[in-house]
Every structure is written in structure tokens, then in C-alpha cells.
Amino acid sequence: MNIRFYNARILTMAGDSLEDAPVFSGEVWVSGSRILYVGDGNVAPDFYEKHGLTAICFDREIDCHGNLLMPGFKNAHTHSAMTFLRSHADDMPLSDWLNEQVFPYEAKLQPEDIRTLTKLAVLEYLTSGITSIMEMYLTPETIAEACNETGMRCVQVGGCNNFSQSPELLEKWYNELNGKSELTSFQLGFHAEYTCTPELMGRIAALAHKYKAPVFTHCEETKAETDGCIARYGKTPIAYLADLGMFDYGGACYHVVWSNEDDRRIMKEKHIDAVTNPASNLKLASGITPIAEYLRCGIPVAIGTDGPASNNCLDMFREMFLVTALGKVETQDAAAVPAYEVLKMATRNGAHIMRIPDADCLAEGKLADMIMIDLSQPNMQPIHNIAANVVYAGSKSNICMTMIAGHILYDTLDGRQAFHIGEDPKDIYRDCEAVTRRIF
């Protein structure tokens, strides 16, 4: 399908600063799953020659009415099917939360339950402008099916630990789930150091070496976790895992709230990226991720919501505001972690950390994973600085379109909320309610 977006403000996120790639007025053309053109609409004749065209017939032309087109947000860490635990397992420290409220009920989930519960999260992601998720949960096959059926782009990572999954399954999924779909892929991963034996982690590190692949894991989320690893092995989790060869081909750590200077040196040397989850870390009282330190060290940072049990809300606007606000408070510096840097974390950085670089910005040939933000609402006025408006004042109510792979999956373009995922949301709500009733 060929779609022309015109009369738009465009923020490509192609530059390191807003000065490098400023907002401009123009058009975006989409052909199939890719962006064909981004510019002011004055297309030179050699454009058509380059693409072997004499003209373009658009199936749909959308007047953006001056609203903003930009890359979709990348949710770089989540556990989507934990929607069944939303507002059930609250107000508890992480250890009690996991062992008393999460693990026992997760044991009752069936693969088809996870498929259904994931679809509920997809609906919420779309309303928040999220076009890609990095997912860690229990049954990757049914999660991939849920994302393919709804149109969500999903990069899965293994969640191997002492009582769930295994290195053999990780290898099986790595070989079987990559290359099957344009929308879904799989990376090596495990739950955390504190839920895995040294022998198990050694086998995962061996897989990383076999496939020359990055590894992803929860790491240094709480002080107790970090102190426990030091007590067990005389090293922080990052230092211990690096010594195992876990990150010899890079990867990323989720949360990394309690890293020290040596950890950050290792992260920089080993190309270990950081994924911050501020709302979850606040709700579980885990601490504040030292974002400014990661930026100072040149360590790429992306943003995740974490799951809807530890966060409750899958909202990238809330996460972006918390990233910048907590960064300022933690450093006592109001200039720390500026708005455009946060937008980079939520778009470009997330795409690269998730290994989907073709989704990092709006440019010719890139994936058509794009959102439209309604600038006509009061919270977006006046327009002094669009990047600052999005980060400091934006909300889910400003998302008026979410497109993934050239398909508009959610919009409010005719004044009403509409999902285009091949299923009625009411059916998904009903099925999720049935799963929840059975489990509890």
C-alpha cells in the first residue's frame, strides 16, 4: 500500500541534536513496509528515475493538519503478558513481589493464555506510540504469534533461570524464531544472576560465543541483588558476568540502578548498553538509575516500561518524563538529561539496542514505523520546542496514529479511537478476563 502524509511537521530523529535534524514542514511517503520519501514535497525528477518510477499512485493521502510525524517509541524492556497481574501484586519489595505474587501465579499460565494476555498489552502499546517491544517472557512461540497477528514489532530475549527455560530451549528459539517474520526476532538472554547457577550462566555464555551474539539480562536492579552477588562471588553482577564471557559480543542490562564506576568501565569496554525502567524502579523502591553517569561514560541508554505488574502502566510518555526528571534530581543539575537526549533514548537508541537499526529514524529506505502526535491539543501549545513539549508535556492522549511496517494499527484521525489489528478489542478484554478469573 502506498500512503502519502502531507502538511506535516516532521521530526526525523536522524541527528544527534535538534540542530542537526530540526523539525521541518513536509511530507512522508510510505510504500509497503518502508519509507519511500521524507522531504518538503518538492520531489526532483531524479527521485523517480532512481526508484524506476514515472509517477506514484497513492492508495491513501492523509492531511496531517500540521501535526508531528516522528519515529515510533521503542519499549526496550517489558513482560507483556503480565497484564494479568496488573494492580494485583502491588506495594511490595521486589523479592517478596517475585516469590509470593509473581512466580506462583505464572506457574498456572498456559501458552495460549500468554498469547491472549500479550495482545492486551499490544493495544496499550499502540495507544502510547510504541512501535517495537523487547520482550522477555515464558512462551516465545505464542508471544511471536500474538505479535504477528496484531502487527506489533517484537524482539524477544530468553528469560532462562534455574526453574524455567534452559540453554537448549534458548538455542532452539534462537534458530527457529529468527528469520520467520519481518516483525519478530529472538536474542539470547536470561533472567538474572541471582536466579541462575554458575553452571547455567556458563552454558549461556557458551551460546553467546557459539553464535557471536549479544546477551540481555536483568542486572543490578536492587542493592540487595548487587550486594548478594558480591557476597557470593566477590564481584558485582556486571563484573562477574563479564568474567564469565557473557558479554564478549555485547548486549544490554535491564535496570542497572546500582552500577559503580568499575561496572561502567566494563560496560563501555564490552559494549553493554543500559535500559532504564524508571516507573518500575520507583514503584518497587529499587532506586534511581544514574542516567547522567551513563551518558558521561558514552554508554547508550534506552527506555523500557518493564511489565504491567511492576509498573501497571505501559506509557512511554510517563517513562520519558521520569527519565529526565530523575536524572536532574539525582545529579542536582536541572540541565542534566535534556529532552532531545531522552527522545533519542526512546527512539534511536532503543532501535539500536534492540538490533533493529532500520527503525531508528524517518529516512528513505527505513522501516515505516511511525507515529503522529496531535499538536493541536492545549498541552502542546505554544510550540516553542517540539522535543521539549513531547517529553515534558506530552501524554498518550496526543497519539493520533501509530503505524508499524506501513500499516496503521491505531488512530484517532476521524475523531474516535480505532484499532486495526484484525480483532475487536472487546473480544481481547473478554478473553483476558476469563484467563484472570481462572488463575485467581
What is the CATH classification number for the domain harbouring 314?
A: 3.20.20.140
- Does residue 97 sit in the same domain as residue 215? yes
Over residues 257-266, mean pLDDT: 98
Task: Output the pLDDT for position 52.
Answer: 86
* Amino acid in position 68: L
Kindly indicate the confidence band of residue 323, based on its pLDDT and cuts at 50, 70 and 90: very high
- Does residue 138 sit in the same domain as residue 233? yes
- Does residue 263 sit in the same domain as residue 339? yes
Distance CA 74, CA 252 (A): 15
- Does residue 55 sit in the same domain as residue 110? no
Task: Output the pLDDT for position 407.
Answer: 98
Over residues 382-408, mean pLDDT: 97
* Torsions phi, psi for 334 (to 5 deg): -70, -15
Rounded alpha-carbon distances, angstroms, from residue 224 to 194, 288, 291: 10, 14, 20
CATH for 10 = 2.30.40.10
Does residue 89 surpass a pLDDT of 80? no
Structural contact between residues 12 and 39, judged by C-beta atoms closer than 8 angstroms:
no
* Torsions phi, psi for 7 (to 5 deg): 55, 45
Task: Output the pLDDT for position 98.
Answer: 85
- Does residue 406 sit in the same domain as residue 290? no
Number of domains in the chain: 2
- pLDDT tens per residue, range 414-437: 999 999 999 999 999 999 999 999
Task: Output the pLDDT for position 55.
Answer: 83
The whole-chain average pLDDT of the chain stands at 97
- Does residue 221 sit in the same domain as residue 313? yes
Which residues constitute the domain of residue 50? 2-71+358-419
* The domain boundary residue, chosen from 330, 356, 382: 356
The answer to whether residue 243 sits within a structural domain is yes
Using the Cα atoms of residue 31, residue 343, residue 255 and residue 81 in order, give the sign of their dihedral.
Answer: negative
- pLDDT tens per residue, range 325-365: 999 999 999 999 999 999 999 999 999 999 999 999 999 99
- Does residue 311 sit in the same domain as residue 398? no
Looking at the chain, the whole-number percentage of residues with pLDDT higher than 90 is 93
Kindly indicate the confidence band of residue 205, based on its pLDDT and cuts at 50, 70 and 90: very high
Over residues 138-163, mean pLDDT: 98
The answer to whether residue 427 sits within a structural domain is no
The answer to whether residue 428 sits within a structural domain is no
- Does residue 155 sit in the same domain as residue 268? yes
- Does residue 367 sit in the same domain as residue 409? yes
